[in-house]
Amino acid sequence: MTEIKLNKVVKAYGEVEVIHGIDLEIHSGEFVVFVGPSGCGKSTLLRIIAGLEKVSGGEVVIDGEVVNTVPASERGLAMVFQSYALYPHMSVYKNMAFGLENAKMPREEIDKRVTEAARLLQIEPYLQRRPKALSGGQRQRVAIGRAIVRDPKAFLFDEPLSNLDAELRVAMRKELAGLHAKLGGTMIYVTHDQVEAMTLADTIVVLSGGNVAQAGKPLDLYNKPRNTFVAGFIGSPRMNLVEARVAANGTGFDLVSGAQTIRVPEVPGLEAQSSATYGVRPEHIAITGEDDADVTATVELSEQLGGETYLYCSADGLPQLTVHQLGQLPVERGQVIHLKFDRSKMHVFGADGNVLANGLPT
Amino acid sequence: MTMASTSSSGRPVLGFLTRRREGGQWHWTDVFTYVYLVLGVLLMFGPVVWLVLSSFKTPAGLLEFPPTLLPLGQIEVQVEGYDDPLPLFAVTMEDGTVKELAQIRRIGIMAQMVDPENPGERVSVPINTREPIREMRVATENYIDPLETFNFLRYLQNSVIVTVVATVITLLINSMAAYGLAIYDFKGRNAIMLFVIGTLMIPVTIVLVPTYLVVTQLGMVNTLWAVILPGAATPTGVFLLRQYMLTIPKDLIEAARMDKASEWTIYWRIVLPLSLPAIAVLAIFSVMWRWNDFLWPLVVLTRNEVYTLQIGLNAFQGELDVQWHYVLAMTVVTLIPVVLVFAFLQRFITTGIASSGMK
């Protein structure tokens, strides 16, 4: 069982620092997903753990041992690359056996492990083929198989599904989750797709600009984002975030943006005359009557998916609001609707972008 | 394409040889192309054909003027009282009869002839009344003699050893150098590469003497190692292989590192097999360089038993007398391996050169 710990890990390329002192603890058997927009340092962080990049500062600890100077080949980890990186001149069998041969494993043991992994991944019919003769999904399985046979301390995945088409990606995602349940190993998975992160992870680590924006269980991140970045990044379609000026109104505050004013109760840390951001997820906006409404908006686009409906609305002074409603709604483009924000699910962030409240008293 | 396939179904060869642009009409560009291609074939292939045909001519056949294309040789006869064989002519005598006479010598427009049947009697005839008697004769002794009596098999063996061993060493050390310069990222990598390529600008003749001194000091003169070792590291080879290795995805190297592969394993089992097209190109070049190498072996090999073919060929070229029939025949022998190499590996040459960016 494997514990991986990062202590104040810094990575710089020459003058440019791309990872600014990350602390992280990955527990044994955990499925951890690094997620973030491109350039946030998630792949670099994975490569640092793998040993393919050297740290510029801090420590990488695997099972209590500092491995900063241990080369990638000695760390006992296995990695699945975005490009799969299958050896094109070897058959599928040879691809999977290569790592074991390097470990000087006896031939029968290699054969046993490869056959077993092939059976698990259903690639037995292709064992003698070259990677060139495989489809994308099959190559993906071989790449995973190459990692499995090694029985590594931990699996590292670098955006493994991004080269597959949408349908296959969903299927492989399920298989990966099943695989983790079956194998139970520690897995670190890098993706830019927050849906993959939400569905696969035990723990999500959201990275932004070389820092950890927030780490935690998927639903914790969804329900209690610590800052506007995580609030905007986790959840699809994204949370509606609105910048506002704060004004006191006696019992609470008015959040004013353009012509729209949202009345909220007292929020600790929120001060009058400062600026703030409030956020509300599309499913926490209700369509109500005129008297009850927070905002009156015009529908710009309505997406009827049958089981659910997305409305994209504009209101004076606000960015485009996304509204999610279950079922089918007889709403058309240009129609004026009245919206009410669910106060108990509203998030308020201060001027620095950090959260002040996840959910307001009603 | 459709045109070519339909016409080739009936008469394959003719259809192939008279392929035209689409439409089946003779456009002027078709004519131009064929004229150009035929000229090219004649220009490049003509000398080789002439060489092969001439290598089967007797010495007399070679000296004949006007020259003939086929190995036709004038018949020579041994006449009593003369050391050398004399060429045989059919002479039309003044009375209209035709006699076969051997020519002793030619003086101006007259030729002194002798009847082989009756060696004591000489006749003078005008040269325009005589016609050389020729026969179609393939002079295989041009090949057999040097191979048997002049130790040419030994030369051939030496050449094969030099070519094979030198090519193997060249491929090994050049690919190792290229691996270092392509896969590792270190300070001064480009400077070293520039330095390696820079040595291309130094002509062989300039380093001839220093290299000779080194080889002498190492006691390698008159051994085949003296030919093999000095040229084993070639800047062209390092450059060619390195450029090719740069195109190998970095992920593969990293995947191999994650797979616990040592650096040697990565080189031997991943990079080398993937560089095979470039290696084949270098192998072809190396074989040609080594096989045709002349100047350096001439300098370091002075004893007959270590001669390579090219030096052996040179031995036929005496100061006063060149034995052309042997030179031509042995030239054909020396050409055979290069031709074979090209025939079997030519598809690697085009793909390899195209992919490694070498022209």
Q: For residue B222, give the amino acid letter.
A: N
B103: helix, coil or strand?
strand
Whole-number pLDDT of residue B351: 67
Report the alpha-carbon distance of residue B352 to residue B358 in Å, rounded. 8
Whole-number pLDDT of residue B29: 86
Cβ atoms of B161 and B224 within 8 Å: the answer is: yes
- Look at residue A333 and tell me whether its pLDDT is greater than 50: yes
The mean pLDDT value for B246-262 works out to 92
Q: Mark out the alpha helices in B55-151 (DSSP H runs).
A: 59-63, 141-149
Report the alpha-carbon distance of residue B116 to residue B120 in Å, rounded. 9
Q: Facing residues of A61 across strands? A: A5, A66
Q: Pick B270's closest partner by Cβ from A74, A83, A87.
A: A87
- Look at residue B52 and tell me whether its pLDDT is greater than 60: yes
Domain B150-356 has CATH 3.30.200.20: no
The mean pLDDT value for A155-177 works out to 89
Chain A contact set for B270 (CB, 8 A) = 87
- Look at residue A300 and tell me whether its pLDDT is greater than 70: yes
Cβ atoms of A339 and A283 within 8 Å: the answer is: no
> Which residues, 6 or more positions from B182, have their beta carbon under 8 angstroms from its beta carbon?
B241, B242, B245, B246, B248
pLDDT 10s digits, B200-247 = 888 888 889 999 999 999 998 899 999 999 988 899 999 999 999 999
Give Cα separations from B337 to B160, B163, B347 (angstroms).
Answer: 9, 10, 17
**Cα dihedral A126/A129/A132/A133 (nearest 10):** -60
Q: Facing residues of B110 across strands? A: B107, B126
Whole-number pLDDT of residue B151: 79
CA A48 from centre of chain: 19
Do the Cβ atoms of A146 and B273 come within 8 Å? no
Report the alpha-carbon distance of residue B52 to residue B55 in Å, rounded. 5
pLDDT 10s digits, B291-337 = 988 889 999 998 888 888 888 888 777 666 778 888 888 888 888 88
- Look at residue A225 and tell me whether its pLDDT is greater than 60: yes
pLDDT 10s digits, A100-147 = 999 999 999 999 999 999 998 889 999 999 999 999 889 999 999 999
- Look at residue B347 and tell me whether its pLDDT is greater than 90: no
Do the Cβ atoms of B259 and A99 come within 8 Å? yes
The mean pLDDT value for B186-191 works out to 92
Angle subtended at Cα B187 by Cα B185 and Cα B193, rounded to the nearest 5 degrees: 80
Indicate which of B185, B260, B269 best probes the interface with A, i.e. most A CBs within 10 Å of its own CB.
B260
The mean pLDDT value for A235-240 works out to 90
Q: Facing residues of A211 across strands? A: A208
- Look at residue A254 and tell me whether its pLDDT is greater than 50: yes
pLDDT 10s digits, B140-188 = 888 888 777 777 888 889 999 999 999 999 999 999 999 999 999 899 9
Cβ atoms of B323 and B316 within 8 Å: the answer is: yes
Can you read off the two tokens belonging to residue B235? 């800047």
Whole-number pLDDT of residue B355: 56
Angle subtended at Cα B226 by Cα B281 and Cα B331, rounded to the nearest 5 degrees: 60
Q: Which residue has the higher pLDDT, A55 or B26?
A: A55
A vs B: CB pairs below 8 A: 58
Whole-number pLDDT of residue B94: 80
Overall fold of domain A4-232: Rossmann fold (3.40.50)
Task: State chain A's mean pLDDT as an integer.
Answer: 91
Chain B contact set for A78 (CB, 8 A) = 258
Q: Does B255 touch chain A (CB under 8 A)?
A: yes
Helix (H), strand (E), coil (C) string for chain A: CCCEEEEEEEEEECCEEEEEEEEEEECCCCEEEEECCCCCCHHHHHHHHHCCCCCCEEEEEECCEECCCCCHHHCCEEEECCCCCCCCCCCHHHHHHHHHHHCCCCHHHHHHHHHHHHHHHCCHHHCCCCHHHCCHHHHHHHHHHHHHCCCCCEEEEECCCCCCCHHHHHHHHHHHHHHHHHHCCEEEEEECCHHHHHHHCCEEEEEECCEEEEEECHHHHHHCCCEHHHHHHCCCCCCEEEEEEEEECCCEEEEEECCEEEEEECCCCCCCCCEEEEEECHHHEEEECCCCCCEEEEEEEEEECCCEEEEEEECCCCCCEEEEEECCCCCCCCCEEEEEECHHHCEEECCCCEEEEECCCC
Indicate which of A74, A79, A90 best probes the interface with B, i.e. most B CBs within 10 Å of its own CB.
A79
The mean pLDDT value for A164-179 works out to 89
Using pLDDT thresholds of 50, 70 and 90, give the confidence band for residue B352: low
ipTM for this prediction: 0.84
Do the Cβ atoms of A85 and B254 come within 8 Å? yes
Using pLDDT thresholds of 50, 70 and 90, give the confidence band for residue B10: low
Q: Pick B258's closest partner by Cβ from A50, A83, A88.
A: A50
pLDDT 10s digits, A173-206 = 998 999 899 888 899 999 998 889 999 999 999 9
Cβ atoms of A310 and A320 within 8 Å: the answer is: no
Whole-number pLDDT of residue B337: 81
Q: For residue B55, give the amino acid letter.
A: S
Look-up: residue for tokens 């079997």? B344
Report the alpha-carbon distance of residue B311 to residue B305 in Å, rounded. 11
Other CB atoms within 10 A of residue B197 CB: 14
Report the alpha-carbon distance of residue B211 to residue B217 in Å, rounded. 10
Rg (CA), chain A: 25
- Look at residue B267 and tell me whether its pLDDT is greater than 70: yes
Domain B76-132 has CATH 3.80.10: no
Cβ atoms of A350 and A269 within 8 Å: the answer is: yes
Superfamily of domain A237-358: Nucleic acid-binding proteins (2.40.50.140)
Chain A residues in contact with chain B using a Cβ-Cβ cutoff of 8 Å: 50-52, 71-74, 77-79, 81-83, 85-89, 98-99, 102-103, 146, 150
Do the Cβ atoms of B257 and A88 come within 8 Å? no
Whole-number pLDDT of residue B11: 62
Do the Cβ atoms of B258 and A79 come within 8 Å? yes
pLDDT 10s digits, B69-86 = 777 767 778 887 788 788
Can you read off the two tokens belonging to residue A354? 């950090």
pLDDT 10s digits, B92-142 = 888 878 888 888 888 888 888 888 888 877 888 888 888 777 777 777 888
What residue ranges do the domains of chain B occupy?
Answer: 2-54, 76-132, 150-356
Using pLDDT thresholds of 50, 70 and 90, give the confidence band for residue B358: very low
Using pLDDT thresholds of 50, 70 and 90, give the confidence band for residue A25: very high
Q: Which residue has the higher pLDDT, B9 or B338?
A: B338
- Look at residue B12 and tell me whether its pLDDT is greater than 80: no
Chain B contact set for A104 (CB, 8 A) = none
Of A105, A86, A204, nearest to A147 by C-alpha is A86
- Look at residue A231 and tell me whether its pLDDT is greater than 50: yes
Whole-number pLDDT of residue B342: 80
Whole-number pLDDT of residue B9: 47
Q: What are phi and psi of A87, to 5 degrees?
A: -75, 115
Whole-number pLDDT of residue A158: 92
Look-up: residue for tokens 């097999």? B273
Whole-number pLDDT of residue A51: 93
> Which residues, 6 or more positions from A301, have their beta carbon under 8 angstroms from its beta carbon?
A311, A312, A333
Q: What predicted TM-score, i.e. pTM, was given to this entire model? A: 0.77
Q: Is B306 exposed, middle or buried (0-12, 13-18, 19+ CB in 10 A)?
A: buried
